[in-house]
Structure 1
Amino acid sequence: MDLLFTFMQVNEIAWDMTGDKFFLTTGNGTVEVLAYPSLKALDTLTAHTAGCYCIAIDPLGRYFAVGSADSLVSLWDIEEMLCVRTFVKLEWPVRTLSFNHTGEYIASASEDLFIDIANIETGRSIHQIPCRAAMNSVEWNPKSNLLAYAGDDKNKYQTDEGVFRIFGFQSA
């Protein structure tokens, strides 16, 4: 089955944990929520004041998070489709985000020179990983608090080179 749908600008897509809902982030600052398999529009969420670039689903199926060009990360209740919190640590457009395996933490990155790790219940930043350049991707290990991240870094000659690193910590 090959279906074609047209939207203004789709930046990232995600399924919910049940496979019943499909999410699309758009350049209009919205998240389009579709039912699956009918692909009937369930909701259009005005999520941000600028384009929504990335989306991640909490591994427990409670929340989804959206990163935007407005430098904010919004956390949404997946059942109520309501924003419950925003994270405001970054100053550049949010490029990537990921929940850890317990759904307790979220990592987000941009062109800021750090990756922010925040507690989703309190909204507080618990750690920042220093970077020398923009990060393009963050992804938590599905079984432990290991965060892999990749992006463009600077070498000793101050020229760009791709970098991949893994950061780990013990939760309190």
Structure 2
Amino acid sequence: MATFVKTSQQEATIASFSNLKGREYRGHKSSVHTVGWSCDGRKLASGSVDKTARIWAPERLYDSRSSNSFELRGHSESVDQLCWDPTHPDHLATASGDKTVRIWDARSAKSIHTIATNGQNINISWSPDGHHIAVGNKEDLITFIDTKTFKVEKTYVSRVEVNEISWDPTGKLFCLTTGQGSIKVMDFATMKEIVALPAHTANCYCLEFSPSGKYLASGSADALVNLWDLESYACVRTFGGLDWPIRTISFSHDGEFLASASEDLAIEVSLVETGETVHRIECYAAMNTVAWHPSKYLLAYAGEEQDPRPGGGSISKGNIRVWGYAT
């Protein structure tokens, strides 16, 4: 096996990480469960237990006042996950425990579509071509919504617990993580199983495709992140820098770095091709969500409570943080 050698550009990027810092932004009244960037990187959205979503303007995030964001109201229960339309920088979808999916226009802060579903929604994904939205609920029912009509097109019932759902970058594969620790890779057109990857020895919570579609990363209650080659469906690398169940993972825009977070008091930033930890972002709290910017080394994240220790800082309940600003 060939030994991977870091390029001079990678070495310079890694060295620069130690000079970057994060900023905290106040907005929500309760814990934030989800963050995500618009496809052009001009907007950042967050969803919270306080039943709202919020949209932030990154170019104005140097000012931490909540006036630099605006609130999206309409859900009657927690907003547990959100996703942006990958083909339109102003369209956002939110999944809530109130048994609805809402589509928002970020230019007006208005809900332009509300789709009723059959259960309390916990995960959501938008297809790469923008034509479909998939939403999963607590009963492991996945509902597919046609974005031309904003009506339910079809449903899929899983026989096992489903924790996360996502299309691959081509839109041909649809994947889900299970409570049995496996990843099911489906043909989206037929929803027939292609392969079930024996990914982890415990509940598999999260997955993410690399931007190129070469890799699939998965995070689990076994505190490991595994990296899968999508040509061979072989596990090519394991990231084991955290000690608690992996809640959330995200690839950088260039696919070179992977961020992972858990109940540990740090976010691990690892080099994808070696698995080595190249940076740790101190958090002092359990993290619920991390998301890299689509074209910059900016990492948004949010979690639970603030550091209870005297003088403790980092992220406070209901706030988000963005790391990657020069000191």
Q: Give the Cα separation in 2 of the matches to 1:48 and 1:155.
A: 31
User: In the alignment, which residue of structure 1 is the partner of 2:107?
Assistant: none
Residue 165 (1) aligns with residue 282 (2): no
Residue 88 (1) aligns with residue 244 (2): no
User: In the alignment, which residue of structure 2 is the partner of 1:5?
Assistant: 157
- Runs of at least 4 residues off by over 4 Å: 155-158
* Pick aligned residue for 1:122 from 269, 274, 283: 274
Q: Give the Cα separation in 2 of the matches to 1:43 and 1:19.
A: 16
* Pick aligned residue for 1:47 from 183, 186, 199: 199
* Pick aligned residue for 2:180 from 15, 21, 28: 28
Number of aligned pairs? 169
Higher Rg of the two aligned structures: 2
How far off its partner does 1:104 sit?
0.1
How far off its partner does 1:157 sit?
8.1
Query: Residues 4 and 127 (structure 1 numbering): CA distance in 2 closer, same or farther, change over 3 Å?
Result: same
Query: What value does the CA root-mean-square deviation take over the aligned residues?
Result: 1.6
Decide which structure has greater strand share: 1
1:25 touches 1:31 (CA, 8 Å); kept in 2? yes
1:152 touches 1:163 (CA, 8 Å); kept in 2? no
Q: Give the Cα separation in 1 of the matches to 2:184 and 2:221.
A: 17
2:203 touches 2:220 (CA, 8 Å); kept in 1? yes
How far off its partner does 1:4 sit?
2.4
Query: Residues 157 and 27 (structure 1 numbering): CA distance in 2 closer, same or farther, change over 3 Å?
Result: same
Q: Which amino acid aligns with 1:65?
A: A
Identity of aligned residues (%): 49
Mind listing any 5+ residue stretches in structure 1 that lack a counterpart?
Answer: none
When the two structures are superposed, what TM-score results if normalisation uses the length of structure 2? 0.50
2:318 is paired with a residue of what secondary structure? Answer: strand
1:138 touches 1:150 (CA, 8 Å); kept in 2? yes
1:92 touches 1:112 (CA, 8 Å); kept in 2? yes
Q: Which amino acid aligns with 2:265?
A: L
Mind listing any 5+ residue stretches in structure 2 that lack a counterpart?
Answer: 1-152, 311-315
Q: Which amino acid aligns with 2:232?
A: E
Q: Which amino acid aligns with 2:322?
A: I
1:153 touches 1:163 (CA, 8 Å); kept in 2? no
2:285 touches 2:307 (CA, 8 Å); kept in 1? no
1:154 is paired with a residue of what secondary structure? Answer: coil
2:154 is paired with a residue of what secondary structure? Answer: coil
When the two structures are superposed, what TM-score results if normalisation uses the length of structure 1? 0.94
Decide which structure has greater helix share: 2
1:113 touches 1:131 (CA, 8 Å); kept in 2? yes
